[in-house]
Structure 1
Amino acid sequence: MCWSSGLASKPIMGFFLRVGQLLSTCVSFSLGASLGIWEEGLGNWCVFVWCLCFAMSLIISIVELCGLQSRLPCSWDGFLHAYSSYFVIICIVTSFIFGTSYIQVFPPGPAQNRAIIATAFSCVAPLLYAIEVAWVCVRPGDMVCFVPTFPGVLRRLENYLACVIFAFISNTDLYQHKPALVWCVVVYSICFVLGAVNYFVNGCDCDNDKKLPLRIPLLLWLQTVLSVLLYITAVILWPLYQFHEKLGGQPQRSSDMSCSDQLTTIGCIWDQRLAVAILTAINLLVYVADMMYLILEAFVWTEAQPRDSLFFFSPAVSSPISDVP
């Protein structure tokens, strides 16, 4: 019943996109798992991302085939647009990390061939998600295509940088048994979750739901100010405990034995620590720019400033037959 009714109401393009997403992510995590890469932090991250993408695509396929999307309080097309945009970035990052980490590690043979095939299929996945982002906007319906405003670009960048940070801190050797560094991981997680919630609430048009206790502008203020304060602690504690010798850090790269092997995975432990420190500083600057924009918008600019500038997106182009007020 679900299959027949879903196919009757769902365009065939979306069906084939979903099948491609399922196939590409399934092949990637199956081949990756067969190589035993879950024993390392970066390998765990890659397998986790592929499994997450596969699971989400499968759930979405079931919802659409059963026609359940019409019962949801939020815009289904908005949700597809939001989640596909996210998965484009994390799949690109995962493909790069896996390809540069593991293809060179294995000698020529079956293991290396599996790593190459897994990387190839992992590269196909973000392409399919990107096609879905564009397809959601151009297909007939009520979905309005959006062009990110300047603060919208900043808020996307905040979460995209967090995704890259998560790829590195998936290696628990970077912060195990150090409460200050564990706090930094908590900071990254809290800020990412807050940003993701804001992104999806706005992208799915849930901010129009009167059942929500808070409105988007207030959520943006809370998220941005709290994230700036939290990231200030991380930008101080992470390099301090990673590179200060008296606090158990390693100030020099040569002192890290994992950096001596030429056939190591992407970046030795010391390189990963440095990468997280740099990304943390960059993300703090992005959050500060976001907060300054909100302050200017609230206290400096006139009330004539468009309301949409408070949000993640600014409407630019609608689908040919959509009815936009």
Structure 2
Amino acid sequence: MPGSNLGSSATTTRILVKVTCMTILLSTSVAISLVGSLDSWTVPTSNWSFVILCFCFVLTFIILIIESLALQYCFSFSWGDFLLCHACYLALFCLFVSIIYPTTYVQFLFYSPSWDHAIAATVFCFISTMAYATEAIWILGWPQTGDFTGYIGSLPFLLKMLETLVACVILPFISNPSLYMDHPLLVSCVAVHSICFFLGIVTILLNLADCENRLPISSSVFHLVLSLLSVLLYIGALVLWPLYQFDQKFGGQPERLRDVSCQHRLTNYLCIWDQRLAVAILTAINLLIYVADLVYWARQVSVGTEDQPGDS
């Protein structure tokens, strides 16, 4: 009886996940159509919003096919962890679009059919956010049948998810080449964000695939080295970016009013100075998250060392 109840509950949850996926596909497809119909291809944040929505649609469509054909049993990694990771990440991505898209694009539009389309796109994007959040809640209530490894929901995963999420928020702003192409050190700052984001994604995938035990060093030391490298890179970016963007001695623009792009309020995008400031603030925020990650893994390595038997 308990086993049948467990199986019935798992089946119900999978059905609910499929229904949520179809709701997400509908809402994201409408949002993609609305965003794509607007003449906003010169606005970096609008382009990134379009890309994120397309990514959400494609990945959710693939997951729906896998669930419908019961192909998840063909994978060696934890499917439950992957589904929960997918729902959490894409909920945050859609929430990011729901906030960034209206604040960096919609607010600069006059009331017109384009304004109505942009507002509707924001609404459907928020619906996708709620659907992904609901899916994550349902998956968290999934009966413990071996679908989870315990990594999702742990502090290391939450920190890594925050790091990569903040990096995703930074990417639309640094997609404007005019922010950094005048100086190679600013280009290196962009490289830092890209490298750390890539390392974060690889780390999550290694954990989901349970491949960390195959590394030549212990898992704690591996994470400690990556965290230390990321902290050092971010410290460099946090110093160089404001120095060359806002210090007049290094060709920066210290005052917002002197930026020509900020003098025309009716432009339909954030001015260059605001984008530079956004990158600086987000870099500082991500550095704090990386420091917390570093402290966590330093403690793990320290505890692991103390637990080792002493030399005779």
TM-score range, shorter-chain basis? Answer: 0.7 to 0.9
CA distance in 2, matches of 1:182, 1:13: 45
| 1:25-64 pair list within 5 angstroms | 25-64=28-67
Tell me: CA distance 1:173–1:28, structure 2 relative to 1, closer, same or farther (3 Å).
Answer: farther
Q: Which amino acid aligns with 2:260?
A: M
CA distance in 1, matches of 2:160, 2:235: 17
CA distance in 1, matches of 2:306, 2:288: 27
Task: Give the CA deviation at 1:155.
Answer: 2.8
Residue in structure 2 matching 1:143, options 142, 147, 165: 147
- Tell me what 2:122 maps to: 119
Task: Give the CA deviation at 1:173.
Answer: 2.4
Percent of aligned pairs sharing the same letter = 43
Q: Which amino acid aligns with 1:181?
A: L
| 1:151-170 pair list within 5 angstroms | 151-170=156-175
CA distance in 1, matches of 2:278, 2:33: 29
- Tell me what 1:89 maps to: 92
Structure 1 unaligned segments of length 5 or more: list them: 1-7, 305-325
- Tell me what 2:5 maps to: none
- SS of the counterpart of 1:176? coil
Task: Give the CA deviation at 1:268.
Answer: 2.1
1:92-112 per-position Cα deviation (integer Å, ceiling 9, x unaligned): 111111112232333222111
- Tell me what 1:231 maps to: 234
Tell me: CA distance 1:135–1:205, structure 2 relative to 1, closer, same or farther (3 Å).
Answer: farther
Residue in structure 1 matching 2:220, options 192, 217, 220: 217
Query: Relative contact order (alpha carbons < 8 A, sep ≥ 6): 1 or 2 greater?
Result: 1
1:297 equivalent in alignment to 2:300? yes
- Tell me what 1:15 maps to: 18
Residue in structure 2 matching 1:192, options 188, 197, 202: 197
Structure 2 unaligned segments of length 5 or more: list them: 1-10, 308-312
Q: Quick check: 1:81–1:133 contact (8 Å CA) kept in 2? A: yes
TM-score where L is the length of structure 1? 0.82
Task: Give the CA deviation at 1:70.
Answer: 1.1
Tell me: CA distance 1:48–1:147, structure 2 relative to 1, closer, same or farther (3 Å).
Answer: closer
CA distance in 1, matches of 2:75, 2:12: 16
| 1:67-82 pair list within 5 angstroms | 67-82=70-85
Higher helix fraction (1 or 2): 2
Q: Quick check: 1:28–1:50 contact (8 Å CA) kept in 2? A: yes
Comparing 256-265 with 86-95, greater Cα deviation is found at 256-265
Q: How many residues align?
A: 296
CA distance in 2, matches of 1:274, 1:46: 20
- Tell me what 1:315 maps to: none
CA distance in 1, matches of 2:155, 2:13: 34
Would you identify which runs of 4 or more consecutive aligned residues in structure 1 move more than 6 Å? Answer: none
Q: Which amino acid aligns with 1:294?
A: W
- Tell me what 1:133 maps to: 136
Task: Give the CA deviation at 1:282.
Answer: 2.3
CA distance in 2, matches of 1:295, 1:190: 22
CA distance in 2, matches of 1:206, 1:219: 14
Tell me: CA distance 1:148–1:19, structure 2 relative to 1, closer, same or farther (3 Å).
Answer: closer
Q: Quick check: 1:31–1:115 contact (8 Å CA) kept in 2? A: yes
